[in-house]
Structure 1
Amino acid sequence: MTPMTEHRPQMSVEEFEELERHAPETVRLEFISGRVQVKAVTDGNHDQIIAWLQRLCMQHRPELWLYGDRGMKVEGYRKGRARPDGVLAPFGFPKGHGEWSEAEGVIMVVEVTSYDSDTHQRDRVDKPDAYAAAGIPVYLLIDRDDGTVTVFTHPEGGRYRQQVNKPFGAVVAIPDPVGISLDTEPLTEFSGK
C-alpha cells in the first residue's frame, strides 16, 4: 500500500482555459477537483427537462432566467470551471462576463444526469462540493438514473449542509432564495435509460 499523496491538479486553471478554448464544439470540458472532465453531450430528453424547468422558473420567477450551459468559476478561490446544465440568476446576469462567470448573483445551479460512466463522481460527488464552495445557495440535481430530484442547500465550509431527495412524481419544494415548488410528475417519463 502506498502512502496518501497530496492531490495535485493536472494543470493550472489558465492551461485548462486555453485547452477548453481550442476544444471542438462537440466536446464540453470542465475542470473540477484539479482534473479535466469531459461532460457528455446532451440528448433530446435532457434538453426537454431543461426546457420544462426553464418554463416553470419563468412562470414563478419572471425576474430570473435559467441560463443553459453557462461557464462558471467554482470551488474554493474559483480554481474550478464548470458548465452547469442550468444557472438560475437575475435576467441579464452574464452581461459583460467573459466565458466564465463568477458565482455572485447565482441563486441555483442545475444538473441533469447523463448516461455516462462519470456521472456518479461528477454530478453526485464533485459538483455539489464545487458549487457549495463557490457559495451557490441551491444545487438542483435531476437524476434520470434513479428517477429522483435532489435539492442541496445551505452551503457552508465547502459542503451543502442539507439535501432533500424525492422521487420523480413528487412535489419538490425549492427553498429561498429560489422559493418555488416543482410538481415533478412530468419527469416520470424520463426515468431510467
Structure 2
Amino acid sequence: MSAVLPKRDRKRPKMWLAEDSGVPETGRELFEALPELPGFRAEVIEGSVILTPVGTPEHANHAMLLYRALIPVMDEHGWWGYTGNVDVCLDGSRDPVEPDFVLAPSDCPRWGERELRSSGLIMVAEVVSKGSIVRDRTEKPRLYAAAGVPIYLLIDIVATPQTVTVHSTIDNGAYIALATVPIGSTVRLPDPVNLELDTSIFKG
C-alpha cells in the first residue's frame, strides 16, 4: 500500500529557533527554516544540511521497481511503502533524512506531523547516484544502524559491476550482517520482510 503524508511545511517553527536571535544554529533548525525548494531534496547528515537535486527518472524508477516487488509483502502485513517524499527522523540525533524508499507499518510512530521515526521502520533503501556515492555507501549505513533501522538496502547502479547490498542485524549501533550480490542475482531480505529479492528487476 502506498501512502501520502502531509506536504512538508517549510515555515520556520518556533520550536527550532534559537530563543535569543531567531537565527538557526543547528542543522535541524536550518532544515526547518528552509523554504520549499522544488527540484531538490534536503537532509541533515551528521549535523550538516545537504541539498541534492531530485534524481533522474531512471533513479526514481529503481525505487518504484523495489516498491512493486514488495507489494505482496506489504499486502500480507498491511505495511506502507513510500518512494521518496517522506522524511525520516533519525532517533538519537533527530536529524531528518529522505530515503529513496521506506517500508513501514501503517502505525509507525512519528516525530511531529510528517516525519516517521527511524526505530519504527522496517526497511529503507537508497539508490546510489554519482553525487551520493559517499553518503549512500559509507554515511547512510552508519546513520541508519545507529538510528535503529532494521534493514538498509543499497542499490548501487554506479558500481562496476552494479550491486545490491543488504545491511542487517544491528549490534552496538552498527550493521554486522552484510550480503552483496551483483544485480541479476537473488538476495534475501531477512525477517521481518523474509523475501528472496530477484535483483534482475534493476537491470537496464
Normalising by structure 2, we get a TM-score of 0.78
Return the alpha-carbon distance in structure 1 between the equivalents of residues 115 and 27 of structure 2: 11
Aligned position for 2:138? 125
Whether the 8 Å CA contact 2:79–2:105 is kept in 1: the answer is yes
Unmatched 5+ stretches in structure 2 = 1-23
Structure 1 residue matching 2:119: 3-state secondary structure: coil
How far apart are the structure 2 equivalents of 1:94 and 1:46?
28
Which sections of structure 1, spanning at least 5 residues, go unmatched?
1-9
CA 18–97 in structure 1, closer or farther in 2 if over 3 Å, else same: closer
The alpha carbon displacement at 1:103 in A equals 1.6
DSSP-derived class of the 1:163 partner: strand
Report if the CA contact (8 A) 2:146-2:173 is conserved.
yes
C-alpha distance in 1 between matches for 2:53 and 2:185: 27
- 1:17 aligned to 31, 39, 48, which one? 31
1:114 Cα shift?
1.7
Give a deviation string over 1:31-54, Cα, whole Å, max 9, x none. 111222123311111121111111
The equivalent position to 2:120 in structure 1, one of 93, 101, 105, is 105
CA 1:129/1:95 → structure 2, altered by over 3 Å: closer, same or farther?
A: closer
Contact 2:102 2:121 in 1 (8 A): yes
Q: TM-score, normalised by structure 1?
A: 0.82
| Secondary structure, aligned partner of 2:149 | coil
SS at match of 2:59: helix
Who is 2:14 aligned against?
none
- Summarize deviations over 1:50-104 as a string: whole Å, max 9, x none: 11111111123312222122111116x1332210011101235478952322123
| Amino acid aligned to 1:142 | I
Matching residue of 2:72? 59
Identity %: 34
Q: Secondary structure at the match of 2:70?
A: helix
Which residue in 2 is equivalent to 1:71?
A: 87
What is the DSSP-based 3-state SS (H/G/I as helix, E as strand, rest coil) of the residue aligned with 2:129? coil
- Structure 1 counterpart of 2:5: none
CA distance 1:80–1:58, change in 2 (3 Å): same
Distance 1:134 1:96, change over 3 A: closer
* Aligned structure 1 segments of 4 or more residues deviating by more than 4 angstroms: 94-97
Counterpart Cα distance in 2 of 1:180 and 1:74 = 25
Report how many aligned residue pairs link the two structures.
176
For residue 111 of structure 1, report the CA deviation from its aligned partner.
0.4
Q: 2:148 maps to which residue?
A: 135
Q: Distance in 2 between matches of 1:100 and 1:90?
A: 14
